[in-house]
Structure 1
């Protein structure tokens, strides 16, 4: 790991674990991108920039028709001085113009990685783990200073980037666009991978060829969203799980984002990612600073599996924080799909007691425990116990469950407010709204204005009061609608388009204060399931409810796509009742268990209603998961069969020391007279002998990976197997 600057050529060479990243200061102080890819020993400009006269490409340097920003691969491009492509940022001056001209001024290289004030980011525990480069650029007319911040990690093929804008002039400036990273590639023969979806089918995998013009994914919903994840990757055409170049970007942010790739007239491709400029602006008064969120950039020269391993390990160990980061997660039972709003204290205790008898470790009381919450039309914001349902109070209920040797968890939706609530009656201006416009509701609720300090302070107070009132060790933090009529009663007209980003800053502050105040609580984030499964939230809450869709067959695609970026330990996965409540499909308890055991395992059904055989099966699943839990949650994840490509799915987890592995295979639909299937496994030690527990057979790792292992014939639709491999 190192960052070098070569003064003779004005070239920067950043090297992470097995990655090099190069750029150069060229004519008149512009930054030109040179290379990003596999680590090289020494750079001697074998791909040096070539300057030629291109028709209709204006010339920045007087009397030099060979130099144009329109043809230069740039590091952080602006708009207005001969570059007609998508800019990384845009600033409006007081005279209404939007032309800027950034030039190199200086740079600084330091050990470690500084924090981003008020924003989530990756971190280091030792300054020797990383080095950081800050490159200072300046627009001399306005005295706008732009600092490009790069951090390279010693142990990961990852580089993080962000940008700080400083108004060192005397006039107001207005940021209209402020991307966190830009990379100009001198080729465009890539496929673009993204993770689109919708509620109930989040993070499906999309792969399309780049074409001329702009392709983009993003969110304008006030959240990273079910519809698109803040991730994109450019991959070579031949790239698969094991082979090919991957250039991946993931935005550490939970609000509006835009990731875009533009292929220009010369076959170059420009990748840009950051806050979505749609309906965004930020007034930058003299001496004020604006810091963009972080982007994690991962390079893999060995396909998608290596990319995923980098994201997984980096996020598990250097993005997630707190005492639960390195702990196995408890097996829980949640009452939501068991009872919805229709429960009482006795029913909750019955479910908890039965769950405990079956070996579960945590009971979670979901929506409906507060205010007058008998349906989803009321009481959000009134975090007071519903005495009709819980007459003895939350503390007594929680204590009774703890006395069963069961932990107690609770559902909240802190960011929302019901129109039918005491809080709304007291403070109708505390929601996000625009004067004289209707307040559109979604799920009969509005969004609290977390851009306001007084609102954040009150919610911190109310949530903290509940968390102090009972022995609570788990919180499910939900968020069930997206932004409309985006405005704040606390902001002046010239700052209204700052509302969505200020909301995120406020949310991060609330999460930081509450999770710091209650370090003994395991927080799981949720947004109608997986609507805010992003690295920004993972910084505060180390796991996320992957999707409200608990159907095992649907989850094959959802969990597969999620695994591209996010570690298994961050994925909540539950066994629910059948017919499934989202897609009305019937699947066996076995296949539901196998799919859910491929994440953070739990149950979401009324176990008291099951027959003895079903309860015995659940008891066996719980016991089984306790044995494999360390491998699932802390092992390396390998995708074997793609559910988007056929009728089968398979994946496996392998412990870091390669002593243990867990393999899962699911066949969706039965086929007549089908061929026999064998699968080659991955990640094992070729020199070790592995005992397959369920088969009571032993094979060397090289045989399992090179020859493969037979998959038994299985009858009927929706069938599965899960096998353990133990090194002898």
Structure 2
């Protein structure tokens, strides 16, 4: 709901209020953003409005007429250079006369139903009809137009309110109504000036194989904090999502804000506290390396920013973001469509994939219950390693003599779908495409080029390159019965230059690249709506809402180690639903860390995502393949809960004092305090009748028997049956300890040990009880005591390094009532 009264604008979601007003000079002053407040009468906001009496200190006054106003001391919705606000600006321009001063003042507003469409960038709530309208008209858009009369420029600030998710989006459109060009040096999507700085800022940074590590800063200093990407992607180094938490806020209580950007290129989130204690947050395109020449009569639109607020802590904020991404970001056809269990060939075959290896895997995959077989890198051109063939999207006939169509038909007859890996944005020097079109690569003519993974990037600022990519990939997807495409992008940008643009417009390259890429993705996903596209960029180097507008799922990390994955997936869970983050069960020792972990623990971590496998099935033992079959059977029974349920994190241990510290619950190597040694997650069905709870142990702690599971999200009025998913342990885990129970001596590594291990498995503990939801929520459930060197029995919980348990929670009252009705 949007209210406009007496120069005040109030935007309300179901549980939040956002308010600002027009100051007498014409600037917009931010008044409030937080839990919903009453704004039925104009005087309701009067405590938040105060006219300045005099400028303080050595600040600059705005004008002679308004000599009591200093823009530096105000909480503004939009700021620009030149009139006294020296903080990080929303907008920075260079005019035709060389001046950089801008002064945008209120001119008009409009409220419209639904979403105001964008022209060249993805946005929330858009459908194939290019407009989204809620059935009850509750989604509304406010456009406030500001004008710089001196330079004949108009600026639209655009808010869209999504009440049911408690999310508001914000973006801007700058229009040049003058007869002179203007250069945009910086233009943001969102600016909020909070009245006090007492917040903890949480960023999610890392790198390849270490994405989404949470780091907390408190308080926000007057020196700037910048969370930014300059890789040409949204980046695994600094995801565009961040949180602001009020003092005392935690996982389940207190005010927490979440912000994200619907954009897949360079971004920057800047926070700084002014000398008067106002905290400014600004997010949008990274101004580093950005320059945009805006001709007369033209316009520039920014990416859309997302914001939400919850009084129920980080968990409430996350679930707002999860609902919003599911309902208004993901492609409509895939929002509620279950995803297949897949097997990817990469870690089984790497570049040595062939029709023979695929069919060998397929027979066992079908028996295990896998639904989709994905051929990763190595199937095209003359690709034997990463030095060649990108751009040549034709099948390698030595590896696949009949091409992909006969193979896809063979798989279909077996009951499997075919998926393929691609990297369409890249070009290899050793490729037919580069030999034909060397000018299609982004590089500086006549200068050496820095390459990543021995490949270059296609110049998608060019329409002819876009058309080539669209038609080449379309031909590929029509050449066989392909159900899934993994769209990868394995390098970042360097030596940024496009031959399609003049020298004075090279600052436009990276943004024009994103516009060109989005056009390609839009056309291809509309052209092939039944194909499931998965985004990937060396893992999570481009995991952002912009890509999710086209690809309903993202490969979150190339790191499949379950211990690392609990950190990575928990990091994603703050801003993204895990139902759009792929997670695979892979080999032990793990290919990224060489760490060993139980198969059931690898599965438990992967199940809290879009679960798949990355294993060489023929190399596994019969026992391992049987275990995988049981895992997939269970996952399919509970897939609707994992996929559509609400996600809850159990509150982690407090962070150590001091700014810039990593949260211990997010750091895989920390063993103390004890509580940070465990990851606990719950996913709960929408009706709260079924739930799955994960307890993951990072390291074994000796003589530490007690452990409680603490599920979240259950109905306190219901009774629930709780039972663990049974596990079995190989006796080889116990080494020489088995000799305390074995009738004969067994030497580790001997034939006797291997023989015994084939026939003897040690069952784990069994948990099965019924209790009230309020008990589980408030007190938790004591688990069977942990192994402590003695007393081993079926009542003792064996918990190894990188071990896990899954607990199934089902409403008992409803099950019993249904049984009684059946008897009647």
1:214-263, Cα deviation, whole Å (9 max, x unpaired): 11111011000110100122211211111111122101100000000011
Q: Does 1:657 align with 2:741?
A: no
Give 1:146-157 correspondences, 5 Å limit.
146-157=155-166
1:629-663, Cα deviation, whole Å (9 max, x unpaired): 11111000000154326211110100000010000
Q: Find the aligned partners of 2:76 and 2:411 in 1 and give their Cα distance.
A: 60
1:30-65, Cα deviation, whole Å (9 max, x unpaired): 111111111111233112234133011111131644
User: 1:295 is matched with which residue: 305, 308, 333?
Assistant: 305
Q: Which residue of 1 aligns with 2:782?
A: 710
Q: Is the 8 A contact 1:641 1:651 kept in 2?
A: no
Q: Does 1:369 align with 2:379?
A: yes
Q: Find the aligned partners of 1:506 and 1:69 in 2 and give their Cα distance.
A: 38
Q: Find the aligned partners of 2:378 and 2:226 in 1 and give their Cα distance.
A: 39
TM-score between both structures, scaled by the size of structure 1: 0.98
Instruction: Give the deviation of 1:702 after TM superposition.
Output: 0.8
Instruction: Give the deviation of 1:324 after TM superposition.
Output: 2.1
TM-score between both structures, scaled by the size of structure 2: 0.87
User: 1:182 is matched with which residue: 187, 191, 199?
Assistant: 191
Unaligned runs of 5+ in 1: none
Q: Which residue of 2 aligns with 1:464?
A: 474
Q: Is the 8 A contact 1:54 1:66 kept in 2?
A: no
In structure 2, the CA distance between the partners of 1:395 and 1:248, relative to structure 1 (3 Å rule), is same
Q: Find the aligned partners of 2:359 and 2:585 in 1 and give their Cα distance.
A: 20
Q: Which residue of 2 aligns with 1:20?
A: 17
1:84-116, Cα deviation, whole Å (9 max, x unpaired): 111101111112211000000000011111221
Q: Find the aligned partners of 1:444 and 1:65 in 2 and give their Cα distance.
A: 60
Q: Which residue of 1 aligns with 2:292?
A: 282
The alignment partner of 1:29 has SS state of coil
Q: Does 1:126 align with 2:134?
A: yes
Instruction: Give the deviation of 1:435 after TM superposition.
Output: 2.3
Give 1:334-413 correspondences, 5 Å limit.
334-413=344-423
User: 1:235 is matched with which residue: 245, 250, 253?
Assistant: 245
Q: Which residue of 1 aligns with 2:666?
A: 644
Instruction: Give the deviation of 1:474 after TM superposition.
Output: 0.6
Q: Does 1:83 align with 2:90?
A: no
Unaligned runs of 5+ in 2: 126-131, 653-664, 668-675, 725-766, 787-797, 813-824
Instruction: Give the deviation of 1:181 after TM superposition.
Output: 0.7
1:426-480, Cα deviation, whole Å (9 max, x unpaired): 1111011122321211101000011111001001111000100111111100000
Instruction: Give the deviation of 1:125 after TM superposition.
Output: 4.3
Q: Is the 8 A contact 1:169 1:286 kept in 2?
A: yes
Q: Which residue of 1 aligns with 2:30?
A: 33
Q: Which residue of 2 aligns with 1:47?
A: 48
User: 2:715 is matched with which residue: 685, 693, 718?
Assistant: 685
Q: Is the 8 A contact 1:641 1:648 kept in 2?
A: no
User: 1:106 is matched with which residue: 105, 108, 115?
Assistant: 108
Q: Is the 8 A contact 1:322 1:519 kept in 2?
A: no
Q: Which residue of 2 aligns with 1:563?
A: 573
In structure 2, the CA distance between the partners of 1:677 and 1:12, relative to structure 1 (3 Å rule), is same
| Deviates further, 610-619 or 633-642 | 633-642
Q: Find the aligned partners of 1:219 and 1:239 in 2 and give their Cα distance.
A: 28
- Which runs of 4 or more aligned residues in structure 1 lie more than 4 Å from their structure 2 counterparts after TM superposition? none
Q: Which residue of 1 aligns with 2:5?
A: 6
Root-mean-square deviation (CA, aligned residues, Å) is 1.1
Q: Is the 8 A contact 2:113 2:133 kept in 1?
A: no
Q: Which residue of 1 aligns with 2:736?
A: none
User: 1:193 is matched with which residue: 188, 194, 202?
Assistant: 202
Larger Rg: 2
Q: Is the 8 A contact 1:440 1:484 kept in 2?
A: yes
User: 2:510 is matched with which residue: 489, 500, 507?
Assistant: 500
The alignment partner of 2:46 has SS state of coil
| Deviates further, 637-646 or 365-374 | 637-646
